[in-house]
Amino acid sequence: MDLLYTHSDEGLDIVLTYLYSNQITTVHQTSSGKALNCPVAPETQEPQRPQVHCVTGSLCAADRCAFVKSTPDCSMEDGFINYLHVAFCLLPPNLTPLTITLYVLHYQSLIVSSLFLLSFCPNLSAISTSLHLTHNVAGVTFLALGNGAPDIFSAVAAFSHPHTAGLAVGALFGAGIFVTTVVAGGVALVKPFAVASRPFLRDVIFYMVAVFWTFVMLFRGTTTLGETLGTHSYTHTHRLMYTRIFLRDQDHNTCVLVCVSESEYRPLLPYSESTSQILLSSLNPVDNRKWRRKSWSWRVLKLLKTPLEVLLLLCIPVVDPDKEDKNWRRPLNCLHLITAPLMCVLIFQSGIYGEYMIQGQFPLWLLTLLLGLFLSSIVFCTTTNDCPPRYHPLFALLGFVVSAVLISAAASEVVSLLHMLGVVLSLSNTVLGLTLLAWGNSIGDCFSDITIARQGYPRMAISACFGGIIFNMLFGVGLGCLVQMLKTHSYVQFESEGLLTWILAGSLGLSLVLSFVIVPLCRFHLGRAYGIFLLVFYVIFLVIALLTEFGKIFIV
């Protein structure tokens, strides 16, 4: 509000001019304090400032840095790197294409890191075994959360701010369309088969209800605590039904598909290694025998992954119940008691606890380091190299927590990075969510499900297509909204991207309805024609979505 004072020549009238968002109200006041025939603006109402969105396309290069710094919609508080500040303030405008290229490569590395963290999912199996959980309960809880961790944490990170909520909506709906069309179509093309009628219809119906439920929340623009808790209960109901049928024919969990370890070579005669040898061998991710018989391309890829693998081996303890010694590595596990808690403190919530001072005097990270050293010394002095202690399963819980924190941090960086790309390229968050974020989170499902189909298990692959995305959508939306409610103590507001959101939800619903009608008409036989139909459907959807984004399709 700007307040302009003007005084007349006689000194009797004072003109007070208020500017309220292009509306001017003038109050003439005499020296006696009486108003003269002019409406008075209510004193209790504050002027509503129009929300300024983070759009820099119409600004010149010199003004973009100041705009990014002063606009709340451009803030990036949940990431380690302020990508907008780097793009518009640190680098010159002529390097924008190079900046975009480097950010895309960084985005790919974050996606690969998130997928690689899933290789530590033996901890989930170890936790369920230690708690004596049934396969049904383990599938509903730990294993489902482990397989869908990238999608769920990306949704939670996106829902943390209103200006990135479109990423979550686009990613969850976009991943649903991608998996139910491209992945399911690829399975049908690779291995035509007859799908089990009852499980297929059950999954399609459950997913249609989930899509409709989410669509209603988007249409209303808000959600309540009851609806959020309802999504969780609905998710667990489906997962319980899913695991009861799936595990009837399958004794091992789905996580084994990702966690199949490389070929083990055991000596015929056991020998005792020293503590230093155990530590060095535990931190070496390269198998010498496998290295010699692999191609040069595999070796190059392995060299690129080795630094990340060594870092994760240093920070994440892994308990494997399928191994004879449960993967007990005494010196490395003692080191984990120092590095794992310290990693959580430095990484959680974008490192805000790394600078936290207890009572303003003692840093939290130093206290964590001292406690880790104390526990590590006790474990090292009370255990041996050959026999794991009785509390060894607790390391699985520690490894699961560290993996979740790292995946959450990677998801926050992905969301911040995609938000920056949307600002630079003038793209909406929804279209970035249904393309880059959805593709990145679903690429692992695509490869694993098609590989399963090639191995002769197409029914398992098609069940995984529907079972995973139902859990990810409902749990991602529910958990993201619940976390936001706990932070703000109010309802979650959704800002719709307009026509694009309705096209996204409508296309997903239409694909499910068509599958619900076509598959029974084909007597539940999924052939190559059905696979081609699904792929064509996805291409048409993607073209329509992009045309809508660039203004070629609009509502008059």
What does the mean pLDDT of the chain come to?
73
What local confidence, expressed as pLDDT, does residue 342 receive?
93
Ranges of beta strands (E only) in 351-404 are 357-358, 362-363
Q: Do 415 and 112 form a contact (C-beta atoms < 8 A)?
A: no
pLDDT tens-digit series, residues 114-158: 555 555 556 777 777 777 766 545 555 565 566 666 677 777 777
533 and 403 in a common domain: yes
116 and 32 in a common domain: no
SS3 content of the chain, % helix, strand, coil (to 5): 70, 5, 25
514 and 480 in a common domain: yes
Taking 70 as the threshold, does the pLDDT of residue 27 lie above it?
no
526 and 494 in a common domain: yes
Place of tokens 């119940």: 321
> Which residue would you say has higher pLDDT here, 336 or 60?
336
pTM score: 0.67
Q: Which two tokens stand for residue 182?
A: 């491209």
pLDDT tens-digit series, residues 462-474: 877 777 777 777 7
Separation CA 233–CA 456 (nearest Å)? 34
399 and 440 in a common domain: yes
- Is residue 365, in this structure, part of any structural domain at all? no
120 and 146 in a common domain: yes
Handedness of CA 146, 444, 244, 393 (dihedral sign): negative
Taking 80 as the threshold, does the pLDDT of residue 329 lie above it?
yes
98 and 20 in a common domain: no
Question: Closest Cα partner for 413 from 53, 86, 77?
Answer: 77
70 and 25 in a common domain: no
Separation CA 89–CA 76 (nearest Å)? 14
DSSP 8-state class, residue 140: I
pLDDT tens-digit series, residues 250-273: 444 444 434 444 444 455 445 567
Element housing 411 (H / E): helix 393-425
Question: Any idea what the CATH number is for the domain that residue 399 is in?
Answer: 1.20.1420.30
Q: Range of 454's domain?
A: 61-257+389-549
- Is residue 29, in this structure, part of any structural domain at all? yes
- Is residue 118, in this structure, part of any structural domain at all? yes
Counted domains in the chain: 2
CA angle 525, 527, 533 (to 5 degrees): 115
Arithmetic mean of pLDDT, 263-286: 70
- Is residue 470, in this structure, part of any structural domain at all? yes
253 and 177 in a common domain: yes
Question: Closest Cα partner for 305 from 124, 115, 438, 121?
Answer: 115
Taking 70 as the threshold, does the pLDDT of residue 344 lie above it?
yes
Q: Do 213 and 234 form a contact (C-beta atoms < 8 A)?
A: yes
- Is residue 381, in this structure, part of any structural domain at all? no
Separation CA 399–CA 395 (nearest Å)? 6
Arithmetic mean of pLDDT, 229-253: 50
- Is residue 274, in this structure, part of any structural domain at all? no
- Is residue 519, in this structure, part of any structural domain at all? yes
115 and 18 in a common domain: no
What's the chain's Rg over C-alpha atoms?
28
3 and 78 in a common domain: no
pLDDT tens-digit series, residues 1-22: 333 433 444 333 333 333 333 3
| DSSP calls for 500-530 | HHHHHHHHHHHHHHHHHHHHHHTTTEE-HHH
Element housing 458 (H / E): helix 458-488
- Is residue 186, in this structure, part of any structural domain at all? yes
129 and 240 in a common domain: yes
